[in-house]
Amino acid sequence: MPLEQQVIILWAAINGFLDELPIEKIKEFEATFIQEVKIKEKQLLKKVICVHPATWLIDNKGAKLLYKSFREAFEKHISNLEVFNGNLVFDIKLFVPCVITVIDISLIFKTVKVNWFAKPIWEISSLDMVTMHGPDWDPTVKNFQDKVLNYCLTNGCILNHLIHWSTANNEKYQIQLPKIRGHVAYDVEDKTFQDDFYTFIQENPENNKGIRKEQGKIENAEMQASKTILQIDTRQEQDNLLKYLQSDFARLCLSLFKTNQHLNTGETKIVPWMDFTRLWTDDELFSELGYYKGHAIREYAKDFLPDYHNLYPHGKTY
């Protein structure tokens, strides 16, 4: 199948046209859909300008194969990306930005010009460089992500330690993480979420101690089966873990994979598990990975993350 036809089918899949279609009917749908597009507008398969949520671009977890396939199909045929807060323009509720994408199947581009929330245009050589961190991604944040992933492979991550509430041990201490976290922003042009977006727990950490009973109707079996409980041996470790979850270090790690309100779809697999018999400061956490005072990633974290938990009333000094 020619590339331009693959793109059309991927677009149909991402936008839900295949969701309720039996597997044996997909080939028939592909042939019919492509033929209809050809009849209506031949040039549609050559050059397209579309406006859409940026989800498939900034899915840094790589969890959805469909997003990856879509990116690979478009990679060398996109000339421009203009990223903006669609909540202001369309009165919608998205945590991810919207993007105007210019695609020309008849041409191959070595670089893509990106306008990120009206910041100076920069050029990228790969769509993998488009993340929630915008032009700061490469090399500062990307190098940090690589090092954190390696650390998690050796030492484990928060995701590995999450359990279902029904398996909790009453003789131990628990912290319950929410399944969803964060609110949409409508009143600013340069971001789509509020200050609580990159957080694990409530403003008052004490509210996350123990196990809260499920409230309301659970939407589906996946949500009902979610593992949201962190269990630890002592009360001191519980307090140390809570303090860690408030740290800029842990929240910066979370920002690498979090693109929507969910905390239960793999976002915590890039947040390292530490030795919680001790209390960690941001200075110690960054140093643990080799990022000492004055390093660019520390300075970036100070600016990127709002002090949601009021840990630094006199300014960030780590």
**For the segment 182-211, what is each residue's pLDDT rounded down to a tens digit?**
999 988 888 899 999 999 999 999 999 999
Are 172 and 94 members of one domain? no
In percent, the amount of the chain with pLDDT more than 70 equals 89
Which DSSP letter does residue 121 get? P
Q: Which domain holds residue 126?
A: 3-131
Are 37 and 81 members of one domain? yes
**For the segment 204-262, what is each residue's pLDDT rounded down to a tens digit?**
999 999 997 554 444 555 556 689 999 999 999 999 999 999 999 999 999 999 999 99
What Rg value do the Cα atoms of the chain yield, rounded?
22
The domain boundary residue, chosen from 131, 157, 184: 131
Are 21 and 149 members of one domain? no
Are 109 and 247 members of one domain? no
Are 89 and 153 members of one domain? no
DSSP string, 268-295: GGGSB---TTS---HHHHHHHTT--TT-
**Between residues 281 and 44, which one has the greater pLDDT?**
281
Give the position of tokens 């789509």: 192
**For the segment 48-98, what is each residue's pLDDT rounded down to a tens digit?**
888 889 988 888 886 667 778 878 888 899 999 999 999 998 989 999 999
Task: State how many domains the chain has.
Answer: 2
Are 204 and 261 members of one domain? yes
Q: State mean pLDDT over 132-148.
A: 94
Are 121 and 17 members of one domain? yes
Tokens linked to 155: 């030492």
Are 82 and 95 members of one domain? yes
SS3 315: coil
Q: Give percent helix, percent strand, percent coil of the chain, each to the nearest 5.
A: 40, 15, 45
Are 184 and 110 members of one domain? no
Is residue 184 a part of any domain in this protein?
yes
Are 119 and 255 members of one domain? no
pLDDT at 294 over 90: yes
**Between residues 175 and 38, which one has the greater pLDDT?**
175
Which DSSP letter does residue 232 get? E
The domain boundary residue, chosen from 71, 106, 131: 131
